[in-house]
Amino acid sequence: MSIGELNADGLESLSGRTLDGRYRLVKYVDRGGFGAVYLGLDGKFNQPVAVKVGLSYRDFMKEAKLAAEVRHDHIVQVTDYGHDNGLAFMVMEFLNGDSLEKLFLKQDRRLSPEQLCQLVREVGDALAQAHADHLVHRDLKPRNIMLKEPPTKSGTSSFPKKFVLLDFGIAAKLDAEGTQRNRTKDGAGTVEYMAPELLQTPSVATPQSDIYAFGVILYQMLVGRVPFPQADSSFMAMAECLNGIARLPPPRFAEVAPDRSFPPGIEALVLQCLEKNPSRRPQTMEEVCERFLACYEPKPEPPAPPPSSGRPWLWMTTALLLIGLSVAGAFAWKDNQSGPVIDPVASLFIRQGDDSFIEVKDGLLELLAGSDTTLALRIDGLPSGTIPVFETPELPTEAVRAELLNGLTAAVGHLKLSVPDLNTRSMDLPQVTWRASIPGYSPPVEVELKLRIREPEPWLPQAKEDRSFQMASDAKLCRVGNRIFATVLELRAADRSVRFRLIPGREIDDRRIDTFYISERLISNDLFARFADEQPDFEVERRGFGEHPWRSADEAPVTDVLAIEAQRFAWWLVGPQGGLPTATEWDIASGYYEFVQTLNALAERGERPKTLGGFLKQPVTLQDIAAKVWIGLDPADCIFEGQQQRSPYGLQYDLKSGMRLTELTATVLHDLDLGTERNLRSILPAGAALDKEALLLYQARLRGYGRTADLQTETPFLWAEESKQGVVARSVKSFNDTCGSVTLLPSPEIGIASDSYIGFRIVLLTDNTSR
């Protein structure tokens, strides 16, 4: 099964598959963040491993690389990662043992003092190192901690059990039974261990968030339950849990476990870890570990100094002097003696995704044109109750806008920087200062920001590697849905440039027409001649001598070409995403729907023109590509950017004098009768299958200037008619029913005659499908 055939559910049915020729997936375990977890076998060393697989290659591999960088004796090790036929995977050491959650339940919902101290020493040290490496766990809970059994072959081992921390970007683990118990990263995990700041929008995950979660674990191991339990899976139970985390003080130990005793200082430490304000918690895991272990493993008191003999006044003077120096060191007063001078520490974070922030070390920020960037400034070391006042920074250019958002906590400010214009050029900006004033203290806290604007990358077709597609010099970027496009693309082919105009997708008669590009001009003789030279077998029917008008090799539009031949040219020019436009695509690109919209808007205002001539130069705004254009009575009379013979979207028409607009479009028939099949087989090579190319042969539609079904009477076509009520638009259906659609058998006798003036354009699809 290839990656293109997999979906999220398909990840659960990969047992028996071998990845990278080495890792065999033995047994499906469960779903985890970004993928599924399997018990695997490493064929190289014949050892069990845990293997996680996923479809989201970019995000998955990012997490795998991050997890592989974490090296600690008490953190599960990622031993390998890669991809196999597009399926991303990472390999972890297999851990045999019980989770902390299972151990907790086995032991009547408590740990022994020795187990508590081991947990704090080993997991606390692992977290401390991760924080030193600027990594935040974000999903600490007993299910993500295992008491690993030592490896043994004889049944006994001299090595002790050890606690191991899981899920640094892994979000899945295996216990002794080969079952995976946690779901994280995707919002499906329990909220009982989440810090209050992680419940806000936007959230900031910091080391203090991990300290809060570690405090919840200690609280649970000591008293037998978490401070704010979620009673069941109902919405009301979750709401009560979230309300407690965000607003209520945690219950005192005596309220929850009146029959248990605790060493002095333990409760104060755990409750400090559970402070709502991150700045009031212990600031490092080292501090948490040292204070916790000191409560259970108190150090002996140093012996008291012997009393001085003969000079008691000297001993008392020295003691008073030392006390005075300590007080002076603890409080440095300001010049006006109005309060102590503080030493705040400012940390800057940038938003990554929807629910996390990462710390910015060098102050360099890259802003993407047309998007927003959210920053968080956290100030630690403030006196209790002090609320900083964050200022909106002054920016050196109007291209960037700044907006202060509501703070996450009293000590965190949020700033949104946005570059509204997609077409802002890449540039480096002068340094920007973001300040926060501390009431009653001076000077303000400042961070310096170095801003860089980067232009977004527009969509380009898959064929860009072997075909020279690029954004045209006169193009602009625009956003259609959640994607960014250039209004004009250029393709270098046969020593000349072919320009394609953007046509934003829209709803037509309850159908969705996806965004596409269409060639600005009709395909020319010289370009088609190059195609004919490179692929001489393109012709459906061989022409006789002198019946190759494209051999003129001039820039005039190529004519006398059948639908399938035009389609083959499109594949040669732009690849499988190219083809003839459908009739509806041609209608959109030529401005028919803007014509109707403008005419209807005039009618609603009572300004319906009485004559077609009075309808010329009516303005219309194309919202998606931010262009104001004028529309005439039909495509041949449209005015675009002051030039004649252009549609509102910039299609250029090459008309002979006295000729009306006529172009070839094509669709595919879905039903074939016997007569049609005989007609098709009469023009196909012997033994050829009735495939997609054959279907394209049969039906073609002319747009702009039609013929009746008998191909004899030429019928002029206008997009509007003059009536007693004034100018009215003709419907596309009416156009189809009367003169716009004609079935052509692709043979010179009854198809497009050699003297007909019918050219064609090429459409480039943007949905990565072939035509």
Residues with catalytic function: 139
Cα distances (Å, whole numbers) of residue 674 to 390, 540, 653, 681, 684: 78, 21, 39, 10, 15
Q: Give the CB-side neighbour count of residue 728, counting CA atoms within 13 A.
A: 8
640: helix, coil or strand? Answer: strand
Query: How many other CB atoms sit within 10 Å of the CB of residue 247?
Result: 10
The gap from C-alpha 334 to its chain's centroid, in whole angstroms, comes to: 50
With beta carbons less than 8 A apart as the criterion, state whether 219 and 188 touch. no
Please state, in angstroms and rounded to a whole number, the distance separating the CA atoms of residues 624 and 111: 63
Please enumerate in sequence order all residues whose Cβ is within 8 A of that of 277, keeping only pairs 6 or more positions apart, or say none.
409, 410, 411
Please state, in angstroms and rounded to a whole number, the distance separating the CA atoms of residues 727 and 74: 80
Numbers of helices and strands, H then E, in the chain:
16, 41
Residue position matching structure tokens 């370009």: 527
Question: Quick one: which H or E segment has residue 327?
Answer: helix 312-330
Backbone angles phi, psi at 350, to 5 degrees: -120, 140
Identify which of 529, 518, 525, 456 has the alpha carbon closest to the alpha carbon of residue 491: 518
Backbone angles phi, psi at 116, to 5 degrees: -60, -45
Handedness of CA 685, 687, 691, 695 (dihedral sign): positive
Identify which of 348, 351, 355 has the alpha carbon closest to the alpha carbon of residue 390: 348
Please state, in angstroms and rounded to a whole number, the distance separating the CA atoms of residues 542 and 214: 80
Q: Tell me, what amino acid is at 260? A: R
With beta carbons less than 8 A apart as the criterion, state whether 461 and 573 touch. no
Compute, in degrees rounded to 10, the torsion defined by CA atoms 66, 67, 70, 75. 160
